[in-house]
Amino acid sequence: MFIEVLLGLVIAGLIFILVQRSKTQVLKTEDGWWGVGAPPDDGEDLTIRPYRVSTSDKELEDLYMRIDQTRPIPSLEDSQFNYGFNSQYLQKVVSYWRNDFDWRRQVDKLNQYPHFKTNIEGIDVHYVHVKPKNLPEGTSTIPLIMVHGWPGSFYEFYGMIPLLTEPSDADDLVFEVVCPSIPGYGFSEAPQKKGFDSVCAARIFHKLMKRLGFQQFYAHGGDWGWLVTTNMAQMEPKIVKGLHLNFAPPSKPGLPMVLSIMLGRRFPKLFGFTDIDVKRLYPCMEKLVVETMKESGYMHIQATKPDTVGRGLNDSPVGLAAYIMEKFSTWTNHDFRNLEDGGLTRNFSLDDLLTNVMIYWTSGCIISSMRFYKENFGFDQPHAKMPVHVPTGYACFPNELMHTPKLWVEQKYRKLKTFTLMARGGHFAAMEEPQLMAQDLQNFTKAVERKK
């Protein structure tokens, strides 16, 4: 009799655990105030104001003066990009920046799409909002928010925007796109208080989308945008219709992931590993650790003392360019470390790379952007162990910083609808391969809409 009762209790306990796990957990958050001082007594300003990127002779004269006073230092012989940004090639980039790069023309390019600002929780939030120009009669748009990361900006998505808002294929969905700058990045105001993390950014972007009148929408993100949009899905799973990502490192490794690492090489089919998974995960674990060490030094600095190194970068445009553009080399392809020019112009133009740098330089946002690492550093965030129950699509690019097999993605994103092994591309995939990314986003959204 005792055994039967005990067995019944165990079964009941297991059923209870399964039922609890099946429930959609919601990420809880509270409103904040990130402006100077206390919130005003008369409430928040809800107005939306048009914004234009601008420049001036004074701004350019100051930039040129600082560039002219930079102190070059030769790189070590045969060092390429293995010690960081190669100094000889940096001088060529600086020469182009000083003598040929046309910032005024790039400002016009930035302003080809409508920009706006609105105050949310005490800070001005900048965003680009693009509506289709020639929407066919009877066609409804798909609202989409796309969130960038570091050291990128809203400009990363400029190649994708026309592909989504004015698709050439009549069978494609037509999107209405919102590209905000994370507070502390680009033209969004920086938080003036400690504690502004990815959850706070997610909450602010939800408020932004509601202020724009969207009851439901899709979200896309890479780099920090992955975490911010994931938090948005965890926070309001009924409002985020679908989540599309191109970066999804395991936030809290569980038993399935540990076992797959230990046994996946010998028993790949047991964990659903493909030949590509095995090739990318098991050159040898030692090599993976070494590669991670080579590319993650910046993270430790920014997660601990961002203001110290940031002050130097905020004063030196050449230092800032080297710090930012180096990532567009080695994060696009690790092998580019062995090239004298870092392979920078194999996938990007210098105009585009310098435009991204100029967004950081003219807004003076490098320190506040780096602080985002410190605010998100920790191992006990509630969202790290919380699954996502929103339909999700994952674009797996071959040169991403970390390969994430389908099994690992499914551990976090329980409604994984599409998992695409992309033909080419690295960490800055939206900027590097806009057509591939736009097509995968189309395919994912179509799959969700058909399901609906």
The angle subtended at Cα 356 by Cα 355 and Cα 359, nearest 5°, is 85
Identify whether 427 is a catalytic site residue. yes
Angstrom distances, CA of residue 245 to CA of 125, 226, 248, 348, 392: 23, 6, 7, 21, 8
Identify whether 373 is a catalytic site residue. yes
CA–CA dist 270, 86 (Å, integer): 45
Question: If you write DSSP's letter for every residue of 86-110 in order, what string do you get?
Answer: -HHHHHHHHHHHHHT--HHHHHHHH
User: Pick the catalytic residue: 148, 413, 427, 440?
Assistant: 427
Q: Which residues contact 361 (CB under 8 A, 6 or more apart)?
A: 63, 317, 320
On whether the CB atoms of residues 368 and 190 are closer than 8 A, the answer is: yes
* 431: its two tokens: 């900027």
The angle subtended at Cα 404 by Cα 398 and Cα 408, nearest 5°, is 155
- CA atoms in the 13 A half-sphere facing the CB of 81: 26
End-to-end CA distance of the chain: 50
186 Rama sector, left if φ>0, alpha if ψ -120 to 50, beta otherwise:
left
Angle between helices 224-235 and 198-211 (to 10 degrees): 70
Q: Which of 308, 336, 310, 334 is nearest to 323 (CA)?
A: 310
CA–CA dist 269, 249 (Å, integer): 22
Q: How many beta carbons lie within 10 A of that of residue 261, not counting itself?
A: 16
CA–CA dist 286, 62 (Å, integer): 47
* 278: its two tokens: 């095995």
User: Pick the catalytic residue: 197, 223, 352, 440?
Assistant: 223
Identify whether 220 is a catalytic site residue. no
Q: How many beta carbons lie within 10 A of that of residue 91, not counting itself?
A: 14
Helices (H), 183-242: 198-211, 224-235
User: Pick the catalytic residue: 373, 383, 413, 440?
Assistant: 373
Q: DSSP secondary-structure letter at 213?
A: T
On whether the CB atoms of residues 146 and 220 are closer than 8 A, the answer is: yes
On whether the CB atoms of residues 81 and 339 are closer than 8 A, the answer is: yes
Which residues are known catalytic residues? 223, 373, 427
